[in-house]
């Protein structure tokens, strides 16, 4: 097993753990952490695949793509967090249950 294969496997496991965490846990902040973890897992897989070159140096194109990916992931996270903060400010909800409860209360 080469180091690239090991990190590719690690990337897959991290992605799967993140996916499971995204579905299972209820709190919004935890879901956003899980989304970030999924992204990190995919990036690790991509860079591990880039390290398979014949010769010593890795392929710089996936490096550039992952760099772009990290910045875009941070932007998306910031936007989601701003949405969560705004939602909390307006309704006090931090889970989907809270939102349904709030909608039900508003109806009455």
Partner 1 sequence: MYVDYFDYVLALILIFLTWQMLRVKDLLTSIVLFIIFGMLIALAWMQLKAPDIALVEAVIGSALTGVLFLGALGYIESKSQVVYVEKKNVLITSRVYTISLTILTAFLGFILFLTMWKLPEQQVGLHHHAMSALPESGVKNPVTAVILNFRGYDTLLEIGVLLLVVIAVFALNATRLVIINTSLKRKSRILAAFLYLLSPLMVLVGFYMLWAGGHAPGGAFQAGAMLAGVGILMLMGGGSLPLSMKFRVMRFIYAIGFASFICVGILVGNETRHFLQYPPSLAKYLIFMIEIFATISIAATLVTLFAGCTGLLLAQEDHVVKVKGKSL
Interface residues for partner 1 in 64-93 (CB under 8 A)?
A: 64-68, 70-79, 81-86, 88-89, 92
Q: Which is nearer to partner 1, 71 or 103 (CB)?
A: 71
* Distance separating the N- and C-terminal Cα atoms of the chain: 62
Q: Which is nearer to partner 1, 61 or 104 (CB)?
A: 61
Q: Which is nearer to partner 1, 75 or 103 (CB)?
A: 75
- Cβ of residue 38: shortest distance to partner 1, in angstroms? 10
Q: How far is the CB of 105 from partner 1 (least distance, A)?
A: 15
Q: At closest approach, how far in Å is the CB of 107 from partner 1?
A: 22
Q: Which residues of 41-76 are buried (b: 16+ CB within 10 A; e: fewer)?
A: bbbbbbbbbbbeeeeeebeeebeeebeebeeebeee
Residues present in the chain in total: 108
DSSP conformation class of 92: -
């Amino acid at each position: 097993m080469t180091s690239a294969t090991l990190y590719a496997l690690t990337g897959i496991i991290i992605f799967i753990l993140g996916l499971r965490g995204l579905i299972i846990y209820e709190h919004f902040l935890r879901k956003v952490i899980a989304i970030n973890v999924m992204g990190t897992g995919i990036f690790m897989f991509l860079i591990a695949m880039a390290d398979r070159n014949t010769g010593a140096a890795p392929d710089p194109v996936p490096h550039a793509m992952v760099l772009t990916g990290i910045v875009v992931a941070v932007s998306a996270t910031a936007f989601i967090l701003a949405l969560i903060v705004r939602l909390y400010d307006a309704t006090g909800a931090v889970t989907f249950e809270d939102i349904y409860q709030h909608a039900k209360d508003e109806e009455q």
